[in-house]
Structure 1
Amino acid sequence: MGTTESQRGRTPRGRAASIGLSRAQIVAAAVAQIEAKGLAAFSLRELARSLGVSPAVIYWHVGGAKEDLFAAIAATITGGLAEAQDPSAIWTERLRQVFHAYRASVHCHPKVSPLLGAQMKSNGVASLDWIETVLVALAEGGFEGDALRDAFNALIGGLCGFVTMELAPGPASEDGAWEERVAQRMAEVDPKTHPLTHAALPQLANRIFVLRWQNGAQVSYDDGYAVLLDLLIDGLAARAANFPNTSPAEPKHG
C-alpha cells in the first residue's frame, strides 16, 4: 500500500491542495500577510507558500491576476457595510452610519487601507454592494444623473480618502530616526516667519496630516473625520433641498 504525500511529511500542492481551500481563506491569509509586512512587501509567491499551494491555485480561486485578489480584499473590507445601516432611517443618517462603519472596518486592518483609497488596482465589480448602498441613499435624497455621480465621488473621495491618508504608513525605520527628525524640525519652527503655526503647535504637532510622525492607528483622528462627515452630508442635504420636484425624504420602514 503506497504512502500519501501527507504521510511522507510533504505539503500537498496544486489541485490536491486546492481541495478544501476557499476564496475566503485566501483573502484572509493575504490580509494577514499585508498586516504583518505592509502592502509594498506583499508577495503572491509567499502567500502561496503559506497556504501550501502554487500561485496558479490562488488565481483559480480569485481570478487571473494579482489585481483580482486585491479587489477581493477590498470587497471583504466593505462587504458588510449595508448591514450597518438602519433601514428605517432617512438617507442622510444611513450614509453617516455606513461611513462610520467603513472607517471602523478599515481600522481593523490599517495596512490594507491603501487598497481602498489609493490603488486603482483594487477597483472591480467585487465592490458592487458597497457602491449600491451609497447610490441608493443618494438617489433617495433626489440625486440623479451627473449630480448622483458627483455626490458619490465627493463622499468616496472625501471620506475614504481621509481614512487612507489617516492610516498612511510612515517610512520604514527601525531606529525611530525619522520620527525624531520630524519632531526636531517642528521644535525649530520660527515664530517670526510662521507665527500662527508656531502658536498652534501644541494642538497641531503629531495631530494633523502634514505635521506628524504617527498615523491614525496610533493617534485619534475621530473628531476630524466627524467634521468632514457632517460637512459632506449636510452639504449634500442642502443641495438636495434645492432640487426641483423633490420634497424632504421620509424615513423608510422595513
Structure 2
Amino acid sequence: MIDRILSMLVSAGCDESKIVEMYNVVVATMVGFVTLEYASLPSDDPANWAAQLQEKTHAIRALEFPTLARHLPAMANKAFIVRWQSGTDAPMDSSFVAFIEVAIAGMEQVLSRQ
C-alpha cells in the first residue's frame, strides 16, 4: 500500500521535497474519515446512548446556537458529532466523496506550487 501511494504521488508530479508531506496527507485522509465513519458505539447500552444523543441533539437551543439549530434538520444523524449511528448503518457516502474531492484538489494546489 505504501509503495502504491508513493508511486501515485510521483506519477501525479509530486516533488521529492514534498513526498513525505503528501504521503502523510493521503494516509491521514484515509484514516481520519474512516475512523469517524466507523467509530464503535458504546457497548454497554447502545440503544440508550443513541436515544440520549438523539434527544440532546434535538434539544439544541436556537437562541444559544442559532447556526447549528438552523442546519440541524439537515445534519441530524448525517454529520459527525451529531449522529447516533455509525457508517455501518447510515453511511455518509456523499460526504466521503466531497472529502476526497477536496483533499485531492488541495493536494493538486500544493503540488502546482512546487
Q: How many residues align?
A: 114
Q: Percent identity?
A: 23
* Other structure's SS at 1:206 match: coil
Instruction: Output one character per residue of 1:43-64: Cα deviation in whole Å (capped at 9) or x when no partner.
Output: xxxxxxxxxxxxxxxxxxxxxx
Residue number in structure 2 paired with 1:191: 62
Alpha-carbon shift at residue 159 of structure 1 (Å): 2.5
Residue of 83, 93, 106 corresponding to 1:235: 106
Residue number in structure 1 paired with 2:2: 131
Residue of 170, 187, 190 corresponding to 2:41: 170
Residue number in structure 1 paired with 2:53: 182
Residue of 60, 76, 87 corresponding to 1:216: 87
What amino acid maps onto 2:93 in structure 1? Answer: D
* Other structure's SS at 1:176 match: helix
What amino acid maps onto 1:153 in structure 2? Answer: N
In structure 1, stretches of 5+ residues that fail to align are 1-129, 244-254
Measure the CA separation in 1 of the matches of 2:42 and 2:60.
22
Measure the CA separation in 2 of the matches of 1:183 and 1:173.
17
Measure the CA separation in 2 of the matches of 1:225 and 1:170.
20
What amino acid maps onto 2:55 in structure 1? Answer: Q
Cα distance change on mapping 1:175 and 1:156 into 2, 3 Å? closer
Using the size of structure 2 for normalisation, the TM-score is: 0.90
What amino acid maps onto 1:172 in structure 2? Answer: S
Measure the CA separation in 2 of the matches of 1:175 and 1:225.
25
Within a 5 Å distance, the mapping from 1:19-168 to structure 2 comes to: 130-168=1-39
Instruction: Output one character per residue of 1:190-241: Cα deviation in whole Å (capped at 9) or x when no partner.
Output: 1100011111111111111111110101112111111111111122222223
In structure 2, stretches of 5+ residues that fail to align are none
Residue number in structure 2 paired with 1:99: none
What amino acid maps onto 2:97 in structure 1? Answer: A
Measure the CA separation in 2 of the matches of 1:173 and 1:146.
48
Using the size of structure 1 for normalisation, the TM-score is: 0.43
Measure the CA separation in 1 of the matches of 2:113 and 2:71.
39
CA contact (8 A) 1:159 1:225 kept: no
Measure the CA separation in 2 of the matches of 1:175 and 1:224.
24
Measure the CA separation in 2 of the matches of 1:140 and 1:194.
46
CA RMSD of aligned residues (A): 1.5
